[in-house]
Amino acid sequence: MLIIPAIDLKDGRCVRLEQGVMSTATVFSDDPGKTAAHWAGLGARRVHVVDLNGAFAGKPVNESAIKAVIAAVDPDVPVQVGGGIRDLDTIERYLDDGVSYVIIGTAAVKNPGFLHEACDAFPGHIMVGLDAKDGKVATDGWSKLTGHDVVDLARRFQDYGVEAVIHTDIGRDGMMKGVNVEATLKLAQALSIPVIASGGLTSLDDVKRLCEVESEGIVGAITGRAIYEGRLDFAAAQKLADGEA
């Protein structure tokens, strides 16, 4: 299982939020490229990047920082990017920049036809990000809770041809409360495509619990605040996920 470091970008800097609230941003680095190289040097085999400004603006804002991240890691370390992706031209530009996977979140929920078009146009490169609280999907930087059931929506998007689903428990993200293994497992068992857990990964025990259900289709876990604050040893977490610890 992959342990995937998150690089959340706000105004060109690496930050972490609590439950998606921009005013709670804690700045961890002014150099996104250096940050990406740091995690890659510790064994990261994929990097997760979110354009936070873009998520709220509905269009890319931190593209230069994303390019710096791509340039800083080896070509065999995929970079997946989300935040403010609303049209096919943006996807094409990101893929041309060297992004491996583009994550569509709010736009997938509000405009499923766009997601379908993206999967047809760029097969193998489209992931969907489903942010949920108590099983219901949230949109617009988590500011709006919809009535959509996360499992039902994920099944629908699976049929469109998405590469994977990133499931974030927004009640836990940035709160250091531990990953929601139960909700992630429920989603993975309902799908035939890979699921990546996000939100709350804090300890080696979280990693161990996810590894115990990895066979159900959970291929990775994204972690942010815990590795930046030193509460989770990233290298140790990836070794544990690889069965080396």
b (16+ CB within 10 A) / e for 175-205? ebebbbbebbbbbbebbebbbbbbbbbbbee
For residue 173, indicate whether it is catalytic.
Answer: no
**Residue 101 contacts by C-beta under 8 Å, 6 or more apart in sequence?**
78, 79, 80, 81, 125, 126, 127, 163, 164
- Pair 165, 195: CB distance under 8 Å: yes
Task: Output DSSP code: residue 215.
Answer: G
Q: What are the structure tokens assigned to 102, written together? A: 């583009």
The pair of structure tokens assigned to 28 is 């961890």
Catalytic residue among 11, 76, 131, 134: 131
CA-CA-CA-CA torsion for 28, 95, 75, 166, nearest 10 degrees? Answer: 60
What DSSP character marks residue 172? T
**Residue 243: Cβ-neighbour burial (10 angstroms; 0-12, 13-18, 19+):** exposed
With a CB cutoff of 8 Å and minimum separation 6, the contacts of 94 are 60, 63, 66, 81, 85, 102
- Let me know if 8 is a catalytic residue: yes
DSSP class of residue 12? T
Catalytic: which of 8, 51, 169, 206? 8
Q: Which residues are catalytic?
A: 8, 131
